[in-house]
Amino acid sequence: MIFPECFVTDKKLFRQISVVFADALGDKKIKLQVCPLDLGVAKDGRFNSLTEDFRNHLSSDAKILVGPDYRDRINYFRFKDSTEGVLSHNLRKARLSILLSEHNRRNDYGEFLNKFDTLLSAVSGVPKQIMYLIDRNLRASRFSSLEILSSTFPNLDIEPLERIKWLYNNHIEYDGVYHNPEELVDFSMDALGFFENVIKSYVGKFPLGKNRK
């Protein structure tokens, strides 16, 4: 599944697809294998969760059901920096959790909440991981990179990350979000948007090297 946007996806479309998945799956507990990509991530390749191993399979076996065929625009890597791998994996998980959020909300509210917790944990770790790719300095705290992230990418809106930090420090409010599924999904969308914007900012400032394979 490749979204046509570059890096920052259409969240309204995400909500619509989430409802379609929920209607299609019903109450069946089928593990849906989906790899949500956008065209920007696919073309750059560093944060693409599809590795070189998938190239031949997609070229020969994939069927295009809706939209353009983007397969020849996907950049695959056999080897990645381990931090790139973590970010690729977490971006896929964050997007998938939202695509399946309506199904989980209807059928397994505990899993719905668990995916929310996992999403916030993944997104709150993005700044220190991105900064590690830039300066190779390890940081103990996931929120210790807020200031340097803002100075590195001055046009990046860090408000969603500040909201996550605030929520972690206010357990009553966190519990309140648990009991308001619409607010929880909106919060998730904003968190994913922040993740995507960090990737977009990084790729814009540090383009892929010509010799990278």
Kindly write down the DSSP assignment for every residue of 154-207, as one continuous string: TT---HHHHHHHHHHT-HHHHHHHHT-HHHHHHHHHHHHHHHHHHHHHHHHHSP
- SS3 for 3? strand
In a domain, 182, yes or no: yes
Q: State the Cα torsion 206-47-212-131 to the nearest 10°.
A: 40
Residue 98 lies in a domain: yes
Q: Which domain holds residue 186?
A: 2-205
pLDDT above 80 (res 30): no
> Does a structural domain hold residue 128?
yes
Q: Is the pLDDT of residue 210 over 70?
A: no
Q: What is the mean pLDDT of residues 195-200?
A: 98
In a domain, 117, yes or no: yes
Predicted pLDDT of residue 31: 77
pLDDT in tens, 183-196: 999 999 999 999 99
In a domain, 62, yes or no: yes
HSE-up of residue 168 (Cα within 13 Å, Cβ side): 15
* Within-domain flag for 25: yes
Question: Within a domain: residue 54?
Answer: yes
**Domain count of the chain?**
1
Please tell me the predicted confidence (pLDDT) of residue 212. Answer: 62
Query: pLDDT tens across 78-120, in order?
Result: 888 999 999 999 999 999 999 999 999 999 999 999 999 999 9
- pLDDT value, residue 213: 60
- Six-digit token pair at 208? 């892929």
Percent helix, strand and coil across the chain, each to the nearest 5: 65, 0, 35
CB-count exposure of residue 182 (10 Å: 0-12, 13-18, 19+): exposed
* Domain presence at residue 212: no
Residues 6 or more apart whose Cβ sits within 8 Å of residue 27: 106, 107
Proportion of the chain above pLDDT 70, given as a percent: 98
Q: How many residues does the chain have?
A: 213
- pLDDT at 142 (0 to 100): 85
Residues 52 and 77: beta-carbon distance below 8 Å: yes
pLDDT in tens, 139-185: 888 888 989 999 999 999 999 999 999 999 999 999 999 999 999 99
